[in-house]
Amino acid sequence: MRYSFLSHEFSERVPVFGGEREVVVSQLTSTVAGDSSNSHSVEIQSHWGTHVDAPRHFFSNGPNIADYPADHFVFTAPQVIKVTLNPSELLKFDSLENMVNKDCDLLLFKSGWAEYRPEPIYFQDNPGISLDLAMMLRSQCPQLRAVGIDWISVSALRHRELGREVHRIILNPEGICSPKLLIEDMNLSDKLCGLKRVIVAPLRVAAFDSAPCTVLGEWDD
C-alpha cells in the first residue's frame, strides 16, 4: 500500500477566505529552560487550513463534526475529476459533461490551484462552484457523502452571496437526499490515478460546526 497526505500542514501563516491569518504557536514548557518536557499551545480557527464543513456551519439544526460516526469519514469509492478554472470562475454542471460517477462516495475536484496557495490570488480571486452544480451534487448523487476541492472555498470571493447559497444547498440537513460534507483547501498535488481509499480525520471538538482535518489517500501500489 502507498499513502499520501491530501491535506496541507499548518505553517506560521495560513491562507483563509479573503485573506491570511497568523497561526499562533506558544511554547508552554521547555526542556532547555529546565522543564521536564516540551509542550505547546496553538491558536487556530475551525475554517483554517484543510478543513471539513458540516451542516451546522449554516444550519443551527444540522449535525456538527462530532455528531458523525467514524465510518462516515472513510471513503472507499472516491472519484477524482481534473478541472481547469480561471480566477473567480464558477465550476458549472454542463462543463463536466456527465463525468460524475453517481455511485462515488467522495468527489474530488483537482484544479491545480494549490500551486497558488502562497500567493494572494489564492484567497482573493479563488474559483467556486455554481448553483446548478451544487444542486446536481445534492439531488443526483445519493451515495455521495463529501465533496473535496483544492482551492480555498466552494464560495468564490467575488461571488460571495452565491457561494453562501451553494453552501446552503449542499449542507442543508432537510434537503433532498442527504447533506454532503465539504472538504476545502485540500492538497491534491499528488498523482491521484488509482486512488483507492480516502480517510478524513477532523479535529473532533463538541459543537464545532466545521474543523481542520488531516486527509490520507491510499493506493494499492
Question: pLDDT (tens digit, 9 = 90+) per residue, 55-100?
Answer: 999 999 999 999 999 999 999 999 999 999 999 999 999 888 789 9
Structural domain range at position 167: 2-7+47-219
- Which of 205, 186, 215 minimizes the C-alpha distance to 44? 205
Let me know if residue 73 belongs to a domain: yes
Q: What is the CATH number of the domain that holds 112?
A: 3.50.30.50
User: What confidence score (pLDDT) does residue 97 get?
Assistant: 73
Q: Is the dihedral of CA 170, 194, 201, 77 positive or negative?
A: positive
Let me know if residue 144 belongs to a domain: yes
Q: What is the mean pLDDT of residues 167-196?
A: 94
pTM to 2 decimal places: 0.96
Number of domains in the chain: 1
